[in-house]
Amino acid sequence: MENVLNNALPMTRPTRRASLAELAPALIVVVLLVIGTITSDRFMQTNNILNILQYAAEPSLIAVGMMFVILARGIDLSVGSVMGVGNVTAALLLAAGYPVIVAILAAVAFGAVIGLVNGLLITKGRMEPIIATLATMIGVRSIIYFMTDGAPLFQGIPREFVQIVRGSVTGLPNGVLFLVISFLLAYVLLNHTRYGRHVYAVGGSEETSELFGIKVTRIKISVYVLSGVMAAIAGVVGASRLGIGDPNSGIGYELVAITMVVVGGVRLAGGVGTVMGALSGVLIVSILTNILQLNNVSTHAQHIFLGGAMVGMMLFLSWRDAKKA
């Protein structure tokens, strides 16, 4: 049975030969780099490029977790709130005098528990993912305001915690390293482990996966736990970068993460998508936002451009599917 399973599951993964859909996000990144260079003299400056990557660290961490959820044919609307609870949990514990490592582990554990709740509601409670995670999004945000009384936490954040993101180990800001490491680990997990094959298989067909002996419920719960962990880490990164605990941290980030993943070619229907595509999606949204900011485009207009990018990628994928059919 194991040999049959290993032979069958690769069919659910992206093919080795890059398709047009896989190359499109990377080509868009190149086009945006050219546009940025033409429209602003400041775009290609080293500080600006590092700023793009540094500020992309938090949404990219959430996007990695969201990618696993979507590949398994799910959705997680709670990630913004989980980011917020990771942010304020770390800040509160640090202000209370707990060691940095304890504050970080507690924040990440909180995220894992919320992810576990999401997974259980969806698998055991048989709730639709969008409803279950919407409920936890609202509930967790209420918990955040209860923990902080809605006020930012400015006191008690030690310098060693702030340096986790603001500091530099390799000459690059540590925030950039968080982005790179998260996508490297995701690539290894999805492309070189049995777990990754099972995630793709569950997203492709739960019924077929069960026939091959895959523990579908465990896989679905695990991707939500992973999503919660990554969102909480994003919250810790945000608290470190800003040096405060912000109860409004993460608001709207669920939509940003979904946009990044979908623009990168990961199908909302599940089972199709690549890590490199998701990384390209992160870069597309981050670079496009930076170009618009450098050219003094209003925030409201920026959202129109980002929405247009998402619609454009969905139309492209639909056209490609129709052409193949």
How high is the pLDDT of residue 5?
45
What's CA 302's distance to the chain center, in Å? 20
How high is the pLDDT of residue 11?
43
How high is the pLDDT of residue 321?
65
Is residue 36 exposed (0-12), middle (13-18) or buried (19+ Cβ within 10 Å)? buried
How high is the pLDDT of residue 17?
56
How high is the pLDDT of residue 154?
86
pTM: 0.89
How high is the pLDDT of residue 302?
78
Whether the Cβ atoms of residue 241 and residue 59 lie closer than 8 Å to each other: no
Q: How big is the chain, counted in residues? A: 325
Whether the Cβ atoms of residue 235 and residue 246 lie closer than 8 Å to each other: no
List of domains in the chain? 19-319 (1.10.3470)
Give the burial string for 241-278 (b: 16+ CB within 10 Å, else e): bbebbbbbbbeebbbbbbbbbbbbbbbeebbbbbbbbb
- pLDDT truncated to tens, each residue of the chain (325 aa)? 444 344 445 444 444 455 666 778 888 899 999 999 999 999 999 999 988 998 899 999 999 999 999 999 999 999 999 999 999 999 999 999 999 999 999 999 999 999 999 999 999 999 999 999 999 999 999 999 999 998 998 888 898 999 888 888 777 888 889 999 999 999 999 999 999 999 999 999 999 999 999 999 999 999 999 999 999 999 999 999 988 999 999 998 999 899 899 888 898 888 888 999 999 999 999 999 999 999 988 877 777 877 787 787 777 767 766 666 5
